[in-house]
Structure 1
Amino acid sequence: MSPSQPKLLDQVRAVIRTLHYSIRTEQAYVDWARRFILFHNKRHPQEMGKEEIESFLTHLAVEGRVSASTQSQAKAALLFLYQRVLKMDVDWLKDVVAAKQPQRMPTVLTVDEVRTVLSRMEGLPWLVASILYGSGLRVLEACRLRVLDVDFGARQILVRNGKGAKDRVTMLPDMLTDPLKSHLELVRLQHQRDLEQGHGRVFLPFALDRKYQDAPTEWKWQYVFPANRFSTDPRSGEVRRHHMEEQMIQRAVKQAARDAGIPKKVTPHTLRHSFATDLLKSGYDIRTVQELLGHKDVRTTMIYTHVLNRGGRGVISPLDR
């Protein structure tokens, strides 16, 4: 490597940022590239091939006992490293055997169970959890909402750059209109105080802050659910108020389910699953539900149709006859 050429992991970061991948993807892919190199005694990836990758993935499954999804992420990171960063032809990498992810039915709550969980929550966690169930958002999508994404007039929420880098529109429940407006009034006052103290700049994706220099301080670009403290941006080093952490909602939902005595594994994503199944039960067609959820393939949405059946695809047990 020439003195002027950046280090390999810095090259990975640069390519990821050029492609506008998320900070989480950047951190994960850089970490997997580092682990792969260290596993093979710091050999450069250009010196390695299919055999080394298979041994690394096998090590993860056998020794590390990682899940199939984790192993799949490691394989995707290595595919990115070879194809995008090193510009190598690695069609053989697609044939590298990886563990098959098990197909499991999603955990779903009944309407009464959802009401019980939400009744044991209050304040900001209640509002976010209500949006997850009422609008079908993923928890990170809710945390990343901007003020201009909430359209009270049209009673809809715009989800920007969701999973698969897609935008979609979903409904804004009527019962959340007043609580959300009251919440935004408090957020606006906080934003005004931040501006007065020399802060108030928010992160904008795709270099929009360079194209629209005043946008980072504008009200419409602020997060609906901002963090309660300032933090340092790991990429730019700028100190600003980011969006709230999804872990806060995860802990609140799990605790509410425990307090309610619900014997199911309940997470914020369970509320999204329940949103989908309740719509299907109400008679909405699966294509509509697919669009609201932002699924690329309708087969992903079809997993929720199990709630419309009784065991054995609707066949009535002879014992019940």
Structure 2
Amino acid sequence: MSTKLVDYDYHLPDELIGQKPREPRDHSKLMVVDKENQTLEHKTFFNIIDYLKPGDVLVRNSTKVIPARLFGKKETGGVLEILLIKRVSLDTWECLLKPAKKLKVGQKLEIGENKELVAELLEIKEDGNRVLRFEYEGVFEEVLDKLGKMPLPPYIVEALETKDRYQTVYAIKGESVAAPTAGLHFTKELLEKIKEKGIEILDVFLEVGLGTFRPVQTEDVLDHKMHEEIFEIPLYTVERIKKAKEENRRIIAVGTTTVRALESSVDMDGNLISKTGSTEIFIYPGYKFNVIDALITNFHLPKSTLLMLVSALSNREFMLDVYKEAVKKEYHFFSFGDAMFIY
């Protein structure tokens, strides 16, 4: 097992970074990866149903992405970009601001043509994040929905046509600032067909943070500190997964965020428990999975913790070969990229 960051690198041409989602959702490419036999198949995402068996359990992260990107004006007229990161209290948020150097505690920002939101800078944190308190009329979420834009990752330079395209069709609740992107490939119709085949679909919640895009910057990956994310594993989900495991049925995670939520919610004996809390779990080769058997995921950034996670499910050398094949076959990568099913 390698813990050197350089050993999780691969060459990715810029033109393979997905800038727009494929339409319809379930027409993205799908690479099917048999990790035991180390074989690959090239399919379309709607073919996923052919690889799911009656009795399988599909677990998805049903978090909701908020339109967390705002543009505010200083009283002097200068424009700043505000990115909501984490709610501190009802009207107070930890944010990223740019440009922010000259902004002082107590200064206010006006957002919207009619100043529907007014933000006051309360605190400058050690890591450079700012804490803002918002004043508004009515319901904050409704004001945010009107003024905010979806917080697309920095490598996506094209604008979204509709906000819904950076939201899964099954999003229920939450305050994520990034989408659980493996779920973007599912349509309501495909999910109905999966249920009709006898596959159980369960929900967990993990609020995806900006840290998901932060590259590892330590030469030894074990020195990397993971970002903290809030998650919830409902009791019903735990009970259904326990029953499935007793009956030797497969637990298939939709996305790495689902994996992190499930694997963060086990007791000392490795048994899944119902829990609400925060996690900084770091999964890399050598990790023993307690809950999941298979994974539906996108193709991740070079040198990223997510590439390390999928390598832990198989092995590093094979996964890098898989990624080389994806480049060769011109799969699209990252948030609006194509998918793989590792089983």
What's the TM-score bracket when you normalise by the shorter of the two chains? under 0.3
**Larger Rg, first or second structure (1 or 2):** 1
Higher percent of residues as helix:
1
**TM-score normalised to the size of structure 2?**
0.25
Quick check: which one's strand share is greater? 2
For CA contacts below 8 A with separation 6 or more, give which structure has more relative contact order.
2
